[in-house]
């Protein structure tokens, strides 16, 4: 007889699927970029949670957004220290993307600064950091790196590729570039192409970095960092991730630690203090050059590129789509996803769509787990059911007899 204590230990162990912690994979053949340039050495940092099933049907790739990394769910971070994941409200045991059921893969993007080759990496030709000599990379280049990693992991076909925001752009690019390697594509708060407003805000962020006296044309590694510029870029970014309603509720016109105006240019309003804090926190973990490269890749992204329209780019697609937007998201507004939806419907593709009512603006994809789960969970359950039915599992002796 086992004691109650033993039982609960067992349950806990069973409830905690394996997490790989950060792993490094080196692409065997380098990478030819969309721009025509080439990277001879490409390393990619990735993590996995859960286990690939016998039929290889339960793999889900999660693509991170502008400032994310491979640590999407809770688990060991660098040095094996337990660390929360940036989307752990959605990914983990018992969550919408249940790591007890699915084999979850997440990697840092090409051009990133969290372990994958990017402008801060050493250029093998010069043995110095690339800086601005790093070639411009596109969303498609990022996806090509992910596909190469998938080869290395022995996964032929993904059950789903999932992403919010820029991660959603990658998910859409997956569906376009590798339609036979993804069964389903889940795009949350994303767009087939940025509008002028979003490109405009990206440019403000870039100009803030470029104007920083410490930027030194991108060659600042090992010296003073362009922290002011990067922090301002982050402050602007943060405003675009919120909404008028959420800012009104969160800050209003409240003053920070004072009753009256200072008649000075110090931080007074709570919103100023919040943005300043977000900016400071950001420079501790992010590389200004990556911010430049990532935002440029966002701006360049157009799902229709190479075709006359999005509909033609995805014509005859076998991929089933789930597209979600948020009512107060003005950075990746619903109408842009509806444009994609119309293109897919014209093409008679399988696509479901819902707009989630939320006051949180673009950030809602990180803050509204239950509303997303409502749709994601049945969508993935059904996809797994169909994938398992379509994939004969290698017989374990049954048929040999």
Give the residues lining the site for another protein (CB under 8 A): 320, 322, 338, 341-342, 345-346, 348, 350-356, 371, 374-375, 378-379, 381-382, 385-386
Q: How far is the CB of 180 from another protein (least distance, A)?
A: 20
CB nearer another protein, residue 298 or residue 310:
310
Measured CA to CA, the distance from residue 398 to residue 401 in angstroms comes to 6
From the candidates 165, 243, 246, 328, which is the catalytic residue? 165
* Separation between Cα atoms, residue 388 and residue 215, nearest integer Å: 52
Judged by CB, which is closer to another protein: 77, or 192? 192
Which residue, 106 or 343, has its beta carbon nearer to another protein?
Answer: 343
* Cβ-based nearer residue to another protein, 292 or 344: 344
In the complex, least distance from residue 98 CB atom to another protein, rounded to whole angstroms: 15
Q: How far is the CB of 345 from another protein (least distance, A)?
A: 6
CB of 334 to another protein, least distance (A): 10
Using a 10 angstrom Cβ sphere, with 0-12 exposed, 13-18 middle and 19 or more buried, the burial of residue 316 is exposed
- Report the nearest approach of another protein to the CB of residue 321 (Å): 8
Closest distance between another protein and the C-beta of residue 64, in Å? Answer: 25
Residue 254 to residue 59: CA distance in whole angstroms: 47
| 329 noted as active-site residue | yes
Residue 351 C-beta: closest distance to another protein, Å: 6
CB closer to another protein out of 51 and 386: 386
Q: Which is nearer to another protein, 200 or 357 (CB)?
A: 357
> HEC profile for the chain?
CCCHHHHHHHHHHHHCCCECCCEEEECCCCEECCCCCEECCCEEEEEEECCCCCCCCCEEEEECCCCCCCCCCCEECHHHCEECCCCCCCEECCCCEECCCCEEEEECCCCCCCCCCCCCCEECCCCEECHHHCCCCCHHHHHHHHHHHHHHHCCCCEEEEEEECHHHHHHHHHHHHCCCCEEEEEEECCCCECCHHHHHHHHHHHHHHHCCCCCHHHCCCCCCCCHHHHHHHHHHHHHHHCCHHHHHHHCCCCECCCCCCCCCCCCCEHHHHHHHHHHHHHHCCCCHHHHHHHHHHHHHCECCCCCCCHHHHCCCCCCEEEEEEECCCCCCCHHHHHHHHHHHHHCCCCEEEEEECCCCHHHHHHHCHHHHHHHHHHHHHHHHHHHHHHCCCCCCCCCCC
Q: Minimum CB separation from another protein for residue 342, in Å? A: 4
Cβ proximity to another protein, 107 vs 334, nearer residue: 334
- Set 98, 238, 362, 363: catalytic member: 362
246 vs 334 by CB, closer to another protein: 334
**Residue indicated by tokens 């994310």:** 68
Question: 204 CB contacts (<8 Å, ≥6 apart)?
Answer: 233, 236
Catalytic residue among 53, 141, 212, 329: 329
Is 362 a residue of the active site? Answer: yes
Whole-angstrom distance, CA of residue 218 vs CA of residue 131: 5
What residues are labeled active site? 165, 329, 362
């Amino acid at each position: 007889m086992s004691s109650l204590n033993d039982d609960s230990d067992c349950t806990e162990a069973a409830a905690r699927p394996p997490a790989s912690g950060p792993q490094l994979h080196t692409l065997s053949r380098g990478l030819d970029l969309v721009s025509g340039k080439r990277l001879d050495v490409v390393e990619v940092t990735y993590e996995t949670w859960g286990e690939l099933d016998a039929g290889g049907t339960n793999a889900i790739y999660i693509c991170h957004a502008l400032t994310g990394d491979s640590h999407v769910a809770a688990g060991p971070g660098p040095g094996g220290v337990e660390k929360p994941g940036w989307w752990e409200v959605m990914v983990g045991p018992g969550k919408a993307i249940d790591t007890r059921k699915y084999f979850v893969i997440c990697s840092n993007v090409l051009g990133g600064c969290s372990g994958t080759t990017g402008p801060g990496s050493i250029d093998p030709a010069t043995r110095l950091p690339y800086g601005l000599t790093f070639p411009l990379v596109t969303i498609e280049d990022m996806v090509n790196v992910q596909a190469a990693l998938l080869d290395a992991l022995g996964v032929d076909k993904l059950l789903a590729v999932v992403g919010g925001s820029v991660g959603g752009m990658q998910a859409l690019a997956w569906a376009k570039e590798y339609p036979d390697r993804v069964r389903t594509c889940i795009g949350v708060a994303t767009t087939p192409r940025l509008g002028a407003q979003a490109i405009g805000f990206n440019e403000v962020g870039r100009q803030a970095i470029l104007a920083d006296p410490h930027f030194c044309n991108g060659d600042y590694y090992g010296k003073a960092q362009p922290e002011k510029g990067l922090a301002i870029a982050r402050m602007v970014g943060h405003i675009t991730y919120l909404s008028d309603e959420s800012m009104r509720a969160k800050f209003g016109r409240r003053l920070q630690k004072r009753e009256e105006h200072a008649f000075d240019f110090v931080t007074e309003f709570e919103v100023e203090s919040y943005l300043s804090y977000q900016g400071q926190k950001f420079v501790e973990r992010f590389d200004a050059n990556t911010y430049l490269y990532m935002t440029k890749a966002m701006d360049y992204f157009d799902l229709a590129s190479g075709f006359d329209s999005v509909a033609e780019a995805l014509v005859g697609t076998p991929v089933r789509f789930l597209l979600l937007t948020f009512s107060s998201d003005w950075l990746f507004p619903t109408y842009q996803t509806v444009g994609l939806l119309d293109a897919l419907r014209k093409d008679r593709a399988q696509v479901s769509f819902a707009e989630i009512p939320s006051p949180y603006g673009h950030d809602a994809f990180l803050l509204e787990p239950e509303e997303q789960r409502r749709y994601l969970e049945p969508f993935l359950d059904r996809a797994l059911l169909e994938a398992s039915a379509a994939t004969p599992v290698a017989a374990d002796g049954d048929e040999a007899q």
